[in-house]
Structure 1
Amino acid sequence: MTSSPHHDDPGRPFAARLQTPDLAALNQTLDRRNFLRRTASGLGGLALGSLLGNQAAGASANEQALDAFRQRVAPRAKRVVYLFMAGGPSQFETFDYKPRLINMLGKSLPDSVRQGQRLTGMSANQAALPIAPSLYKFAQHGKTRTWVSELLPYTAQVVDELCLVKSLYTEQINHDPAITFFQTGHQLPGRPSIGSWVSYGLGSENQNLPAFIVLVSKNASKDQPLYARLWGNGFLPSEYQGVQFRAGKDPVLFLNNPEGYDGADREEMLTYLTQLNQLQNESWGDPEVNARISQYEMAFRMQTSVPEVMDTSTEPDEVFELYGPDSRDKGTYAANCLLARKLLEKDVRFVQLYHQGWDHHGSLPKGMKNQCQQVDQATAGLIVDLKRRGLLDDTLVVWGGEFGRTVYSQGRLTTTDYGRDHHPRCFTMWMAGAGVKAGFSYGQTDDFSYNVVKDPVHVHDFQATLLHLMGIDHEQLTYKYQGRRFRLTDVEGKLVKGILT
């Protein structure tokens, strides 16, 4: 029996001690003759080898295209923090001020405004579609005199930094396909997420942390589920998937060593695994093997880097005061905003925050008040913090959900209570920072915030513009899969030049 490296000569270099007869024998078993002899069907094995060869050729073509693409990159933004408000925030209670609705409480939405637009199953059978003006007041703020709801007093203080886009629209009317469409460019699961595309196209600037990190608020209402595929890699190599950081003892699952297992043991194990995976890669040519090697190596480096970046105990009190009292409670939206700033300082390429709870089919006034209180101060604090540290100039901040809400009330309407259904035809989101106009509003909706009347922006247009700000031509960053070249914007998308500096 071959001795293990634990019993081998301790004076030999560690890498040399790994060249054991076990690995040599394993390599011999992977030659073509042994593979065919041990396979039940030789022709089937040949077909499999041909298929794997095609996969390797496809991977090589993708790498060559990526190398050429990277030579053309000239980014406006070095990094992105995307604050995704899952559930669809109401534009009526946030940024799209519609004063004419105040005197239209309870009146039916005119057919000329609806124009036959399909409704969800939740309001399609309503006898009437009564108009519900917002209960909350709006006021003008900043040098730009931009209208902002009283629900967002902290955001109002930084409105001169924001580029409001009021004319977003999508074809997706229900949550899962709408969120999937925003995050992956397609309403059906299986495509790479926007963060994965950025990670794949641009790589990482910090070798000790993933290029794409995800944070999910623990203090948000779980009215709509979030699936890990929203930050998944799809058909891209798995090293480009988003890595979720959690609050608690283990920020990244399965990262820490098991009990009784130290760093030297893990290094030894990873060296063995790397060598085994290299043998497998030489024999099979599967590009996913290299991705697996990269992930193991990253996990080892993260054992040191993650505890450091997750530790906010050294932040001064004024920083916690800036982000709000919840910022001391790890895992809340406010704490995640503070953590996002630390990750951006470490040059993490793409940081995505998810905050659920915006799906207000009923009791919207109360629900919107609670949601805005959870995110308002921390969001504004993040903008202020990035700017004073000189990071806002090359960081793009995005805030928004998957669609908007209807002007009419879903179900019961009173002078103090109402709900709003999903509305894909127009909604508001904003960007701030690198490459976008500050203190600027783009696009316009009608008096009912039901239709876009000026400068429509499709989801694919938004995605194309975000990639452009990162130095990526959305038509050029592609990946060949199953015989077709895919991209984030599919076959659509155009640059929204009107919001760029």
Structure 2
Amino acid sequence: MTTRRNILQSTSAGFGWLAFNALHQQWASAAAPPKTINPLAPKAPHFAAKAKRVIFMFMQGGPSHLDTFDYKPELVKAHEQKVAKYMGAAFDFKPRGKSGLMISDAFPELSKHADDLCILNGMQTRTNAHQMATVALHIGSETFVRPSMGAWIVYGLGTEAEDLPGFVTINPVADTGGAMNYGSAFLPASFQGTRLSTTGGGVPDLSNGRLSDAKQRKQIEFIQKANRRLLAGDPGNPEVEGIIQSYELAYKMQTSVPDVLDLDKEPAHIRELYGLDNGDTERFGTQCLMARRLAEKGVRFIQLTSTGWDHHQQLREGITRQATSIDKPIAGLIADLKQRDMLKDTLILWGGEFGRGSSYDNEPYNGRGHNGRGYTMWMAGGGVKGGFAYGSTNAMGDTAETGIITTHDLHATVLHLMGINHERLTYRYSGRNFRLTDVHGEVAKDILV
């Protein structure tokens, strides 16, 4: 997304200078500048939606379901009896809430919200490789560049935020797919994710140290006039329309972004709720509180990232560290959304690219390897059943057996909760219609309220 400082030299949509230079060739003969359609304007869903927005919490590396949300007493017995290399859970599990969901001691704060969680124990993905599984989770394909889930949702529904992007990603991973995970691919650039950071003021280069607001507004008006004259010669050109909208949104973001990201406006009890004043929880707590403020402003898709879940060794120590960093912030976000009456129409999605295996992984035999055949993700709010466990893995926890949800099924279900028929949300490119779920995907209707 373009920002205030680099608005003249932006190449985020790839057409800023193209539009500007073409002015000199078309200025004299161009027709009156046409009005452009805002691609981010709110659009009606295909049917009544349960959720208005998504907060996707990506746990990069593949968190172990066997030590967090998938209770396997037979695996514990096999470990105690020293059967093969089976590794029992590193934490004790207990029934939580009125529903009695089995959640491990790794998440003491989140466990208090067990009755809001819909735990999906039958997840499956087709690969055990980080790069491919991560990209598949985000864009629906392991091998081709496709629009991300967030881009598809904003393309289908637009956004209610007039001066903010429809899709925001906070602290995204630089590797395992990088910008592909929040890109728009062949969809217009307006639908791509805008990167924010929990450090450095949120958006880099947001302020302009060279021009006053008045001079900058004149600069924008001149560029937009040039772009609209160019558009008059090529009506409906999505690239030119996209750059026009990106410039306008970038200008608006100069005021809106600093305001929405000013967490100092939050009272002390809210900062405490998210763990902002604790070194262990500050980083992810900041993401969670930013997400709530963005959600309040109407942003459609918000993605948060927690890295460091690839525990081939020292699994207990690693999960303790990572779970501690997110446990209180996520519990705080759920509590905050509930008290604002927002959880009912906010879909929270939590999970990584895959899970972990049931056996020890290499020496020194205190970690787990990758496993995509069966693992856990969870949802909360936004039209899913709370206090509900759906699907199961086998006795050792390494293969999904019931309630299987593939990556395409997950995407179909998220779209359904947003009021979108995944088979109807298509975009024609290179001679064929594309969709997030390709030619697959079944909605997991049993988890819906």
CA offsets 1:448-499 (integer angstroms, 9 cap, x no match): 0112221111111110000000000000000000001000000000110000
On the 8 A contact 1:169/1:427 being kept in 2, the answer is: yes
| Total equivalences in the alignment | 420
CA distance in 1, matches of 2:341, 2:356: 36
Q: Cα deviations across residues 200-244 of structure 1 (Å, max 9, x unaligned)?
A: 110010111101011117xxxx89656122101111000100001
- Identify the residue that residue 446 of structure 1 maps to in structure 2: 394
User: 1:318 and 1:190, CA in 2 relative to 1: closer, same or farther beyond 3 A?
Assistant: same
Whether 1:267 aligns to 2:217 is: yes
C-alpha displacement of 1:335? 0.8
Letter of the 2:224 counterpart:
T
Per the alignment, residue 273 of structure 2 pairs with 322
- Secondary structure in 2 aligned to 1:348? coil
Paired AA for residue 113 in structure 2: V
Residue correspondence of structure 1 range 323-338 to structure 2 within 5 A: 323-326=274-277, 332-338=283-289
What is the distance in 2 between the residues matched to 1:147 and 1:326? 30
Establish whether residue 155 from structure 1 lines up as the match of residue 110 from structure 2: yes
Q: What's the counterpart of residue 135 of structure 2?
A: 180
2:233 is aligned to 283
2:69 alignment partner, one of 81, 84, 95 = 95
Q: Which amino acid aligns with 1:75?
A: A
Alpha-carbon shift at residue 172 of structure 1 (Å): 1.6
Taking the aligned partners of 1:190 and 1:495, their CA distance within structure 2 comes to 24
The whole-number CA distance in structure 2 between the counterparts of 1:102 and 1:25 is: 74
- SS of 1:407's partner is strand
Deviations along 1:189-208, one digit per CA (max 9) or x if unpaired, are 42000000011110010111
Mapped contact 1:165–1:442 kept (Cα < 8 A): yes
**Change beyond 3 A, Cα 1:455–1:249:** closer
96, 113, 135: which is aligned to 1:141?
A: 96
Cα distance in 1 for partners of 2:142, 2:261 equals 34
The one-letter code matched in structure 2 to 1:27 is W
Inter-partner Cα distance in structure 1 for 2:216 and 2:431: 39
The alignment status of 1:487 with 2:444, answered yes or no, reads: no
In structure 1, the residue matched to 2:297 is 346
Residues 223 and 427 of structure 1: is their aligned pair in 2 closer, same or farther, counting only changes over 3 Å? Answer: farther
What do residues 27-60 of structure 1 show as CA deviations (whole Å, max 9, x unaligned)? Answer: 24779xxxxxxxxxxxxxxxxxxxxxxxxxxxx9
Q: C-alpha separation between the residues in 1 aligned to 2:266 and 2:278?
A: 11
Whether the 8 Å contact between 2:198 and 2:287 is mirrored in structure 1 is no
> Mapping of 1:59-458 within 5 angstroms?
70=44, 72-105=46-79, 130-216=85-171, 225=176, 227-257=178-208, 259-285=209-235, 286-326=237-277, 332-413=283-364, 418-458=366-406
Note the C-alpha offset of 1:347: 1.2
Task: Confirm or deny: 8 A CA contact 1:320 1:328 kept in the other structure.
Answer: no
2:66 aligned counterpart, secondary structure: coil
Superimposed CA distance per residue, residues 376-411 of structure 1 (whole angstroms, 9 cap, x where no aligned partner): 111111111100110001111111111110001110
Match of 2:167, as an amino acid?
F
- Report sequence identity in percent: 40
Q: Give the whole-Å Cα distance in 2 for the aligned partners of 1:223 and 1:71.
A: 33
- Relative to structure 1, the CA distance from residue 136 to residue 224 in structure 2 (aligned partners, 3 Å threshold; closer, same or farther) is farther
TM-score normalized by structure 2?
0.88
**Secondary structure in structure 1 of the residue aligned to 2:94:** strand
2:19 is matched with which residue?
none
Verify the 8 A CA contact 1:81 1:398 in the aligned structure 2: yes
Structure 1 CA distance, aligned partners of 2:86 and 2:143? 33
**SS across alignment from 2:65:** coil
Contact 2:93–2:105 (8 Å) recurs in 1? yes
Q: Do residues 469 (structure 1) and 443 (structure 2) align?
A: no
User: How many Å apart are 1:146 and its aligned residue?
Assistant: 1.1
1:92-115: CA deviation from partner (whole Å, max 9, x where unpaired):
110101112223228788xxxxxx
1:171 touches 1:424 (CA, 8 Å); kept in 2? yes
Give the residue type in structure 1 aligned to 2:445. Answer: K
Given that 1:192 and 1:235 are in contact with CA atoms closer than 8 Å, whether structure 2 keeps it comes out as yes
Taking structure 1 as the reference length, what is the TM-score of the superposition? 0.79
Residue identity in the other structure for 1:96:
D
Structure 2 distance, partners of 1:224, 1:279, is 40
1:234-272 deviation per Cα after TM superposition (whole angstroms, max 9, x unaligned): 110001000011134442234322x23111111111111
What RMSD over aligned residues (CA atoms) do the two structures have, in Å? 2.5
Instruction: Say yes or no: does 1:498 pair with 2:446.
Output: yes
Q: Look up the match of 2:17.
A: none
CA distance in 2, matches of 1:407, 1:223: 29
User: Looking at CA atoms only, which structure, 1 or 2, has the larger radius of gyration?
Assistant: 1
- Please give the per-residue CA displacement for 1:251-300, whole angstroms capped at 9, x wherever unaligned: 2234322x231111111111111111112222244311000000000011
- Over residues 322-348 of structure 1, what are the superposed CA-to-partner deviations in whole Å (9 max), with x where a residue is unaligned? 111457899711111011111111111
Q: Distance in 1 between matches of 2:268 and 2:242?
A: 41
Q: Which amino acid letter does the alignment assign opposite residue 82 of structure 1?
A: F
Letter in 1 for 2:262: D
Aligned to 2:14: none
Pick closer, same or farther for the CA change 1:225–1:486 going to 2, 3 Å: closer
**CA distance 1:253–1:436, change in 2 (3 Å):** same
Measured in 2, the distance between the counterparts of 1:227 and 1:164 equals 28
Structure 1 residues not aligned, in runs of 5+: 1-21, 32-59, 110-128
Q: Do the aligned partners of 2:170 and 2:198 also contact (CA within 8 Å) in 1?
A: no
Q: Letter of the aligned partner of 1:278 in structure 2?
A: R
